[in-house]
Amino acid sequence: MDKLIVEGGNRLSGTIRISGAKNACLPILAATVLTEDECVISNVPELKDVSTMINILSSLGKKIERAGDTVKVMAGRVSNVVAEYDLVSTMRASIVVLGPLIAKYGRAKVSFPGGCIIGPRPIDLHLKGLRSLGADLKVEEGYIVASAKKLKGGRAYLGGHFGSSVLATSNTMLTAVLAVGETVIEDAACEPEVSDLAGFLTAMGADIEGAGTPTIRIRGVKNLAGASYRVIPDRIETGTYMIAAVMTDGCLFLENARPEHNLALIDKLTECGTLVSERADGVEVCRSGAPPRSTHITTLTYPGFPTDLQAQMMSLLTLTDGISVITEKIYPERFIHVSELNRMGANILLEGPTAIVKGVKDLSGAQVMASDLRASAALVLAGLVAEGRTEISRIYHLDRGYEHLEEKLTAVGANIERESE
Ligand code: EPU
């Protein structure tokens, strides 16, 4: 298992090119099951989760070629409708093949995803969405066994206990595009990744209105054709490097980023005293010189502050001169990074779904353990400013979601290396 060694103290400055969005790519790749034609997807990052989705599609019988950031899914039908436990258990997002399989082939068998380190993560909203279109779903021997003679458009209300769900909205949309008649998804997730999936489906010939708002209207079509599509830039990778610029008292231009996808973060960083300049080809983030000020954060569904940047923002807030309150409304248990940050000298108290962060003057390098993708990113950020050496083990989590992290950070002045354990 690899680990990352970070020597803290370097200011970051320069340009980082933002990769394609992992969370947009995964459902877009799954959507290729809906057609027998060739699809070409570009701006696909080289990440473990993307390889897992490609492996699932291959296991279903799709032929796939990858060259650089372009993935070509060849023309042809799937030969199998089963997504096996071994693959699905390594990535929850695999569940998003369920919708396209039932929509196109009338049946599917997909391993039931388990919980994960960030919380229980139920799939009731996925099942509700698909059932509202007429799918018959049973759970047998750890698998969701789905069948449908004929899918018919309907109303799918997808509001849950914690708001909307990106992947439940995506799964329902992926099913409705080939159902007979009109489907209306209410309390749909508004995240840019949902709009990007709708963009790809529309390029394939789907009839979708309202993606990016809480009401999505889909009129089913008989067939979808192949399409070429470029995936949006990753707003969470962007946000992570924006925070890195502030923490290291640096100045970074994030090329390709779409600032309009990070408005909640820009608002909070501005409140902390950062200078953020939005440009047509990216976003520039520079610290104003003074230490960042404390602020309060509540994670919410889009366009609220994203849960996927909560851990990284917590790293930043450990070094302000006041008290910050962070409340997690999407995954109330997503605080596994708190104890690791405290090992580095942070002063964070956890009270249920709320973390109270009392700013400290310095962090000090330590041996820490990565536990999930975004918590790992938070530890890297802390390592960049800590005094001395930070060793982060179990970094395979980072490889799921950050393309060429060490190379990108090294190129802007960080001292970070990968070592094999
Ligand atoms: N939820 C339900 N029932 C469901 C589905 C979700 O109650 O059927 C709840 C969850 O418990 C949670 C909330 O709804 O409170 C949203 O969670 P969900 O599990 O639906 O998230 P997701 O759509 O599966 C995507 C991202 C996550 C990101 C969340 C929230 C992908 C592949 N994943 O997951 O990304 O945290 O939305 O924005 O799009 C990450 O990239 O590190 C990551 C975890």
Confidence of residue 118 (pLDDT cuts 50, 70, 90): confident
Ligand 1 center to 166 CA (angstroms): 6
Alpha carbon of 195 to ligand 1 centroid (Å): 16
Helix locations, 67-159, DSSP H = 85-88, 98-105, 124-131
Beta bridge partners of 324: 357
Q: How many Å lie between the centroid of ligand 1 and the Cα of residue 173?
A: 16
Closest CA to ligand 1's atom 37 = 166
Among protein residues, the one whose CA lies closest to atom 35 of ligand 1: 308
The stretch 265-275 carries a mean pLDDT of 95
Pocket test for ligand 1, best of 94, 167, 372 (most atoms within 8 A of CB): 167
Active site residue ranges: 116
Determine the Cα–Cα distance for residues 273 and 359; give it in Å rounded to an integer: 15
State how far the Cα of 283 lies from the Cα of 107, in Å rounded to an integer: 45
Task: Give pLDDT tens digits for 65-81.
Answer: 999 999 999 999 999 99
At 305, list the tokens.
Answer: 């502050």
pLDDT higher than 90, residue 121? no
Average pLDDT over every residue of 84-106: 96
Identify which of 19, 22, 23, 376 to mutate to test ligand 1's pocket (most ligand atoms within 8 A of the CB): 23
SS3 57: helix
Span 377-399, mean pLDDT? Answer: 96
Q: 94 pLDDT exceeds 80?
A: yes
Q: What is the mean pLDDT of residues 347-359?
A: 97
pLDDT of the residue at 99 = 98
Query: 100 pLDDT exceeds 90?
Result: yes
Confidence tier at 36 by pLDDT (50, 70, 90): very high
* 266 in Cβ contact with 235 (< 8 Å): no
Ligand 1 neighbourhood includes 303 CB (under 6 angstroms): no
The closest of 99, 64, 63 to 83, measured between CA atoms, is 99
Q: Is the CB of 366 under 6 A from ligand 1?
A: no
Atom of ligand 1 nearest to the CA of 165: 20
User: What is the number of the ligand 1 atom nearest to the C-alpha of 164?
Assistant: 14
On the question of pLDDT at 406 being above 80, the answer is yes
Beta-ladder partners of 299 = 305, 328
Mean pLDDT within 352-366: 97
Segment 202-216 mean pLDDT = 98
pLDDT confidence tier of residue 113, bands split at 50, 70 and 90: confident
Residue 228 · residue 203 · CB < 8 Å: yes
Residue 115 has pLDDT above 80, yes or no: no
What is the atom index within ligand 1 of the atom nearest the CA of 161? Answer: 7
- What is the average per-residue pLDDT within 365-372? 92
pLDDT for 288 = 79
pTM: 0.97
pLDDT of 144 over the 90 cut: yes
The one-character DSSP state at 214 is S
Mean per-residue pLDDT, 85-101 = 95
Is the CB of 168 inside a 6 Å radius of any atom of ligand 1?
Answer: yes
Separation of alpha carbons 88 and 373, rounded Å: 17
Mean pLDDT of 299-322: 97
User: From the CB of 196, is ligand 1 less than 6 Å away?
Assistant: no
Q: What are phi and psi of 167, to 5 degrees?
A: -75, -30
Mean pLDDT score across all residues of the chain: 96
